[in-house]
Amino acid sequence: MRDTFALSFTRGRSRVLQAALLAALGLLASSLAPAEASEAGSGWVSAWSTGLMTADAAHPPPFAQGPTTVRQVVRLTGGGKRVRLRLSNAFGSGPLQIDAARLALSSKPKSAAIDPSSVRKVTFDGRDWVIIPPGAVYLSDPVDMPVAPLARLAVTLQFPVAPPGATIHRAARTTTYLAAGADPSAADLPAAATILQWLQLSAVEVENPKAVVIAAFGDSITDGSGTRDNSYQRWPDLLAERLQADPKRRHWAIINAGIGGNRLLKDGLSPSGLARLDRDALSLPGVQTLIVLIGVNDIGFVSREGPVTPDTRQVVVEGLKSGYRQVVERAHARGVRVVGATILPFGGAKAYRSDADADADRQAVNDWIRTSGVFDAVIDLDAVVRDQDRPATLRAEYDSGDHLHPSPAGYRAIADAIPLDLLVARRR
């Protein structure tokens, strides 16, 4: 029965030897890199992750000419007794080299400062360094470091040179620090350059056999457009806080696979939802439930691609229905339950078409989400955030001001409206 709810190489190693080993190690890493498949029963689960894309060639991350130390602070949504990193060279044009890696607890919000007593060295098959082939992922060795849910973990990576084709998350809404030649164990990086991107880090995993992971898959609304930087106000952030406030659900974690501007059916600044689904969500360990909130950009972007006609509109509406079926089938093949969320209203948005025809298309898709029976359950987020007198628009207090993305209050309403019992249940 389906439910519906309203709602560096080692220091001193010669660079000649390094160059000689590069190709061989690349091949070795390729064979050792873990398959992107669910690791059910291994005890490892995702406690933080992000959706991946290629860096803008015109605006690459500001790496130094020589070695660069990059520190990224992530807030974990699940805890465990050991930690490991999942690094990605998904969009690299050559081997990715990392000379050192460290973990530590962040000691000050909105800062690169760490607790020096908490620093732990990260190794890769017992080595301090790693080379990751283009297109591959690589897991670090486990690090003995108990971490708690909602802990801020600083991940520091040292690059000898800029990555050949960086793999990033463009709108991290969290500050990343880049310092030329800095010690990766440094207590702070006061002279660091800053950007709001994740770099080469795709996930942080913890060892916790009891954990349950929910993946939030979507576009800028899941990515948190409209929230303040370093504020953790995205709806998955707020849902994570809600889970940790419930004694019965503190072993649950939620990972955010949202990418701004993402479409289910077509590539844009990022690969389409259908193209990135496995890498960014289904392949991560521990995922039991997938929440799908995507489609508004497919509907709106029609006006950017030529004349809007009944035929072009129908292609998108029917394409979304087929695309959702593909998501569900692929998730079910991995034993993952899928919760569909209705598309939020966007009347008055200036980003793309938001007229009566656009809303009619949105309503047609939403009616199908509610009634098709394709999803294991449905969360009617449209009903949660729409203006009751003008249902094609967001409620004023839930509008960030662009009539497309929710405000922090709107994201709170979304997080609060999700029935927790809905998130883990036996799949039909």
Per-residue pLDDT at 163 = 95
Residue 354 lies in a domain: yes
Residue 1 lies in a domain: no
Number of domains observed in the structure of the chain? 2
- Output DSSP code: residue 310: H
Q: Are residues 127 and 180 in the same domain?
A: yes
Largest CA distance in the chain: 71
How many helices (H) and strands (E) are present in the chain, helices listed first?
9, 22
Q: Are residues 146 and 194 in the same domain?
A: yes
Per-residue pLDDT at 18 = 43
Q: Are residues 183 and 64 in the same domain?
A: yes
pTM of the model: 0.90
Residue 276 lies in a domain: yes
Q: Are residues 190 and 248 in the same domain?
A: no
CA 350 to chain centre: 26
List alpha helices for 10-134, DSSP H. Answer: 15-32
Identify the domain containing residue 282 by its residue range: 211-422
Per-residue pLDDT at 10 = 34
Contact 236, 216 (CB under 8 A): yes
Per-residue pLDDT at 358 = 97
Residue 399 lies in a domain: yes
Blockwise average pLDDT, block size 10, the chain, 428 residues: 41 38 39 37 90 90 95 98 98 97 97 98 98 98 98 98 95 97 97 97 97 97 97 98 95 97 96 98 97 98 94 97 98 98 98 96 98 98 98 98 98 97 70
Q: Are residues 254 and 378 in the same domain?
A: yes
Per-residue pLDDT at 41 = 52
Residue 5 lies in a domain: no
Per-residue pLDDT at 426 = 52
Q: Are residues 387 and 282 in the same domain?
A: yes
Q: CA-to-CA distance for 125 and 129, rounded, in angstroms?
A: 9
User: Of 159, 182, 203, at which residue does a domain stop?
Assistant: 203
The residues pairing with 263 across neighbouring beta strands, listed in sequence order, are none
